[in-house]
A and B are shown apart, each in its own frame.
Chain A
Amino acid sequence: MEALMAIVVGVLYASALYMMLRRSIVKLVIGLILLSNAANLLIFTAGGLRSGVPPLVPDGLSQPLGLIADPLTQALILTAIVISFGVLAFAVVLIHRAYEVVKQDDMDMMKDTDR
C-alpha cells in the first residue's frame, strides 16, 4: 500500500510541476492545487497507513489496546486542507483580476515587473 501511495504522490508532484511550468495562469493555479494535495497525501503516507484500527480508547481504560492509526496526521491534513482551500480561493480570484487587468493569460506577457 505504501508503495502505491508513494507512486501516486510522485505522479501528483510531477504533474503539479508540469502544470506550473505551463504559460497559462489557469494551469498555474491547477498546478498549485495538485501540489497542495500531493503534500497532504505525503503527510498521510509518512504518518503510517493502518486500516481498521481507529484511534479510540476503550471504556474504562486510559490507553488504547495495541497499535492504532495515528490521528495526528489526519488533524494536520485537515488543517492543511482548510488553509490551502483559503489560499487557493484567493489565488483563483487573483488570476481572475489579473486577467481583467492585463487582458492576457500568458505568463510570458507578464514580464513588466521583471525588467
Chain B
Amino acid sequence: MNLSVALPILIPLLAGAVSLVFWRSHFAQRWIGVFGTGALLWAAIVLLLQTWEEGIQVMHMGSWVGPFGIVLVSDLLGAIMVLLTGITGFATALYSLVAIPREHEKFGYYPLLHLLLAGVSGAFLTGDIFNLYVWFEVMLVASFALIILGGERAQMEGAIKYVTLNLFSSALFLSAIGLLYGITGTLNMADVAVKLGEVSGEEQGLVSVISILFLVAFGIKAAAFPLFFWLPASYHTPQVAVSAIFAGLLTKVGVYVLFRFYTLIFAHDTELTHTILLWMGMLTMLTGVLGAAAQFEFRRILSFHIISQIGYMILGLAIFTPLAIVGGVFYIMHHIIVKANLFLVSGLVYRLRGTYELKDLGGLYRSHPWLGLLFLIPALSLAGLPPLSGFFAKFVIIRAGIEAEQWLAVAVSLLVGLLTLYSMIKIWNEVFWKAAPAERTEEAPAYTHQGNSLLMYYLPIAALALMTVLIGVFAQPIYLLAEGSAAQLLAPAGYIEAVLGVQP
C-alpha cells in the first residue's frame, strides 16, 4: 500500500466531513478550512518529492491489482497538478477567512470547498477512466453549489449555463466511456492504451470517433474554442474566492485530461487529433484575447483571459514535440498561480471600492501603491514579460513552435501575448492609474462587517505573487520538473509498466 498517493484525496474528504460535523460553528469550519488545505499542500509536496525521487507511484485500491481494480497513479504531471491544487486551495482558504460574507458561510461554503478540492485531486490521480468520470462529477456537484452561493440573479443565469453545458459534456464523456469499453473491454487507462494499440484496421475508424468524442467532452470542460461559451457567462458571477479557485483549477482539470489522454491513450493517430488540437489552440487564444479586449469589467476581462491562456496549453500539446509538452506543462504551472492571484486582487479591489466596473474605479495606485505592485506582478507575468514566470512559459512554447516550423501558431502566440499586455495595461490604467471618478462608494456594503483587516487579503496575494517571481527567477529547476513530466508523458511505456507491472 502506497498511502501517500491517496492522501491528497483523503485529506480534503476528511476535512469536508469534519466541517460538516461542525455545521453550526463557523469559527471551527474556517480553521478546519485553513488546516485542511494546509495539510493537502503538505501531502502534495510529499507526493511530488516522492514521485520525483522514486518514479511513478501507484496505489492499488483494496489491493486489487490493475487492470481489475481501480488504481491511483501519481506520475510527475499528476503530482505537479496536485501540488498546484494544494497551493490554490490553501491560498483560497486563507482569503476566504475575510472574503466570504458570514451569511454565506452557513450554506456550507467550507465543506463544499473541501469536496471540490477532493474531486480535483482525485481527477489528477486516478488511473481509471470511469473513476475519472466519478471525480469529475464530485468536482462538478461541489462547483454547482459554490457558483450559486449568494443566490443573485446573475448567479442564477450564469449557473444555468454552467450546469447545462457541464452536464452535457459529462454525458458525452460517459458515452465515450461506453464505446471505449465496448472496444477494449477495460477502463484502466494503461490497459486501454495497450489494447488500443492492438485493435484491428477496421476498428480504427471507431477509435477515431471515440477520441473526437473525448476531445469535445474535455474541450467543453477546458473551455476551448468553440466550446467555451459557458465560461465568460458564469465565472464573473460567484463570490470572488470561488471565482479564484474556479479560474485557477477547474478548466485546468480539462486541460490535464487532454494531456493525459492524447499522450497516453490516443497517441496512435496524432495526424487527425493533434491537427484539430492545433487549430483549437490557436482559435482559443485568439477568440479569448479578443473577447477580453471588448470587456470593461474586471472579472469578465480576466475570465476571457482564462480562455486565451488555455489556448497556449493546448498548443503545447498539439505541437507534440518534447519541448512543446515541456512548455505546456510549464504553462499550466505558471497559469494556475497567476490566474488565481489576479482574481484575488480583483476581490480586494472590490472590497476597497465596491465595484468591478472599470469606469467606476480609479486612483487606487495613489491610495494603495502596494496593491498596484501586487497587481502588476501577475498581470505582467500573464502577458509574458521577463523575468516573470509567464515569459519562460511562453518562451518555451514559442521556441517549440519555431523548431516544429508551425509559423502560424508562433505568429498567433506572439500576437496574443501583445493583446494580453494591452488588456492588462487597460486594467492598470483604469483601476490604478487614472484619477478616481468624482462620486464613488467608499466601501463595499456587503463586506464592511468584516472589519478593516486587510492583512488576510494581502497575505495570499503576496504569497502567490512571490511564487510567480520565484518561478521566473528559478526557472531552471521548474523547467527540469516540467521536462521530467514531459519525458514521462511521451514515454507511455513507463506509465503502463508502473500500473500493470508488465512491459507493454
Contacts and interface: CB of A to CB of B under 8 A. Distances in A.
A53 interface: no
A39 B171 contact: yes
B173 to A, nearest CB: 9
Which of A47, A86, A113 has its CB near the most chain B CB atoms (within 10 A)? A113
Contacts of A102: 153, 156-157
A48 B38 CA distance: 47
Contacts of A38: 171, 175
A35 B217 CA distance: 14
B157 A98 contact: yes
Q: Is the interface of A mostly helix, strand, loop or mixed?
A: helix
B201 interface: no
Contact of B134 (A28, A42, A72, A79): A79
Q: Is the interface of B mostly helix, strand, loop or mixed?
A: helix
A80 interface: yes
Contacts of A32: 164, 167-168, 171
Contacts of A114: 229, 232-233
Nearest to A42: B178
Interface in A43-98: 43-48, 72-73, 76, 79-80, 83, 86-88, 90-91, 94-95, 97-98
Interface in B125-170: 130, 133-134, 137, 140-141, 144-145, 148, 151-154, 156-161, 163-164, 167-168, 170
Which of A25, A87, A95 has its CB near the most chain B CB atoms (within 10 A)? A87
B148 A113 contact: no
Given A83-B137, A94-B160, A113-B154, A43 B177 contact: yes
Interface in B169-193: 170-172, 174-175, 177-179, 181-182
Contacts of B130: 76, 79
B355 interface: no
Contact of B144 (A45, A90, A107, A111): A90
A72 B191 CA distance: 16
B234 interface: yes
A113 B137 contact: no
B167 to A, nearest CB: 5
A91 B167 contact: yes
B167 A87 contact: yes
Given A35-B171, A110-B157, A83 B134 contact: yes
Given A25-B160, A94-B160, A102-B156, A47 B148 contact: no
A114 B232 CA distance: 7
A3 interface: no
Contacts of A39: 171-172, 174-175, 178
Contacts of A42: 174-175, 178-179
Given A39-B178, A43-B177, A97 B156 contact: yes
Contacts of A83: 134, 137
Contact of B181 (A47, A95, A98, A111): A47
B167 A112 contact: no
Nearest to B159: A94
B156 A98 contact: yes
A79 B160 CA distance: 24
B178 A113 contact: no
A95 B170 CA distance: 19
Contact of B141 (A25, A87, A97): A87
Given A43-B177, A86-B141, 6 more contacts: A28-B164, A35-B171, A80-B174, A91-B163, A110-B156, A114-B233
